[in-house]
Amino acid sequence: MRVARLFGIGDIRVQSEPDPLPGPDESLVRVTAVGICGSDLHWFGEGGIGDAALTRPLVLGHEYAGVILDGPRAGTRVAIDPALPCGHCESCVEGNPNLCLAIRFAGHGHSDGGLRELISWPSHRLHDLPDTISDAGGAVLEPLGVAIHAIDLAHLRIGGTVAVIGAGPIGLLLVQAVRAAGASAVFVVEPLPHRRQAAIDRGADLAVPPAEAQSIVDATAGRGVDAAIEIAGTDDAVDTALRLARPGVRVVLAGIPDQDRTSFSASTARRKGLTIMMSRRMREVYPRAIALARAGVVDVESLVTERFELADAADAFAAAQARRSLKTVVEIKAGGGTGDPASAAEADR
């Protein structure tokens, strides 16, 4: 099979490797679409993320969809949950598997991700895709799950107002999801004009550059928003979220900074009595994400604005780094790895 593997900063190589063999309770999946996430760009551009560093060549990609090739579900199109929590630690038992200290995550640390033609993955982490969701749309379900989890943490009340700081792919999904959650007004802060327009197109009431963030406070008659979600990963974005939040509410920090440190105005947070929530990936929200996309409440399809083949994975990362599009997806065509199982699975569809 073909694999796109990161060997060092900016060094992605497509090479041939042996096909994987499924273990107990695993399925062999032909990967069809992989979204490039901001966290993937940390690995690509910095050789790590947070306190995790590249120690061996790594296959990136944790936003992905595919087709099961073996077993009773052969031919089934699926979205692949990239997280493998242990299932029995205190965090897992308490319903917080995203906080599991023993978690394995695709495309992170020592766990290879989805930028390859074939993958063996636990069958219970494979979620059936309805025909109304494309393969590329299935890859967008993972960032939608991150957005849903951030909204859960924000404790948004129906009829409340929300500020989203950062209109990258997750920010644009947040705009739609908070509407679905009952927000009466959604405001966006984003420096790039084409992403501000994308936020308006997806239901934001107002989308402004950072220098004009005060206009959001003015739009709420000076009280501030009922929840603020930061998804830009910069200290300036965090400070903006704090300034826009009204006293006593929650500010969710979902962005990942370039350096493993975040700072903000303590006086603003303290005087307002804000609760600052750190968002870590997601809980078990894939079924909710699929339901929202199936119903058309959240449009995952239009978010995909640039597509590349696996052979051009390096170009895909360069395009995503340039932030010229919304979501960049690598689409992997059938037939490059083990042709026989893939052909058999396609025949069963």
DSSP letter string over 261-284?
A: -----HHHHHHHTPEEEE--S-SS
Would 130 be classed as within a structural domain? yes
Alpha-carbon gap, residue 247 to 275, rounded angstroms: 9
Query: Do residue 166 and residue 252 come from a single domain?
Result: yes
* pLDDT per residue as tens digits for the range 287-314: 999 999 999 999 999 999 999 999 999 9
41 three-state secondary structure: helix
Question: Is residue 215 helix, strand or coil?
Answer: helix
Shared domain for 18 and 71, answered yes or no, is yes
User: Tokens at residue 347, please?
Assistant: 């025949």
Q: Is residue 265 part of a domain?
A: yes
Is 60 exceeded by the pLDDT of residue 111? Answer: yes
Question: Measured between alpha carbons, how far is 40 from 155 in angstroms, rounded to an integer?
Answer: 28
Q: How far apart are CA 196 and CA 205, in angstroms?
A: 11
Count up the domains in the chain and report the number: 2
- pLDDT of 335: 67
Sign of CA dihedral 62, 152, 278, 268: positive
Domain's final residue, options 244, 278, 312: 278
Distance from the first to the final alpha carbon of the chain: 22
Residue 166, amino acid? G
The token duo for 304 is: 């995909």
The 3 state secondary structure assigned to 101-168 is CCCEECCECCECCCCECEEEEEHHHEEECCCCCCHHHHHCHHHHHHHHHHHHHHCCCCCCEEEEECCC
Task: Indicate the pairing of strand 327-331 with strand 304-309.
Answer: parallel
Are the beta carbons of 57 and 7 closer than 8 angstroms? yes
- Exposed, middle or buried: residue 321 (CB in 10 Å: 0-12, 13-18, 19+)? middle
Q: Three-state SS for 327? A: strand
Q: Tens of pLDDT along 26-68?
A: 999 999 999 999 999 999 999 999 889 999 999 999 999 999 9
Q: Do the domain assignments include residue 131?
A: yes
Amino acid at 259: Q
- CA dihedral (237, 51, 254, 266) in degrees, to 10, reads -50
* Dihedrals phi, psi of 41, to nearest 5 degrees: -70, -30
pLDDT at residue 337, rounded to an integer = 45
Q: 207 in a domain, yes or no?
A: yes
pLDDT, residue 100, reads: 97
Decide if 293 is inside a domain: no
**Three-class DSSP category at 56:** coil
Q: What is the pLDDT of residues 237-252, one digit of tens each?
A: 999 999 999 999 999 9
Domain of 34, in residue numbers: 2-140+300-348
**Consecutive H or E run containing 186:** strand 185-189
pTM for the predicted model, two decimal places: 0.93
Q: Say yes or no: 9 and 111 in one domain.
A: yes
> Is there a contact between 158 and 132 (Cβ–Cβ < 8 Å)?
no
Distance CA 285, CA 277 (A): 18
Do the Cβ atoms of 163 and 229 come closer than 8 Å?
yes
Asked if the structure places residue 223 within a domain, the reply is: yes
Q: 198 in a domain, yes or no?
A: yes
Residue 266, domain CATH: 3.40.50.720
Are residues 151 and 272 part of one domain?
yes
- Please report whether residue 174 resides in a domain: yes
Instruction: Kindly indicate the confidence band of residue 343, based on its pLDDT and cuts at 50, 70 and 90.
Output: very low
Is 52 in the same domain as 70? yes
- Phi/psi at 9 (nearest 5 deg)? -55, 120
Dmax (CA) for the chain in angstroms is 64
Beta strands in 215-265 (DSSP E): 225-230, 245-253
Averaged pLDDT score across all residues of the chain: 94
pLDDT > 60? residue 344: no
For residues 188 and 241, membership in a common domain is answered with yes
* 184-214 confidence digits (pLDDT tens): 999 999 999 999 999 999 999 999 999 999 9
Comparing CA positions, the residue from 230, 289, 296 lying closest to residue 264 is 230
- Residue 347: pLDDT above 90? no
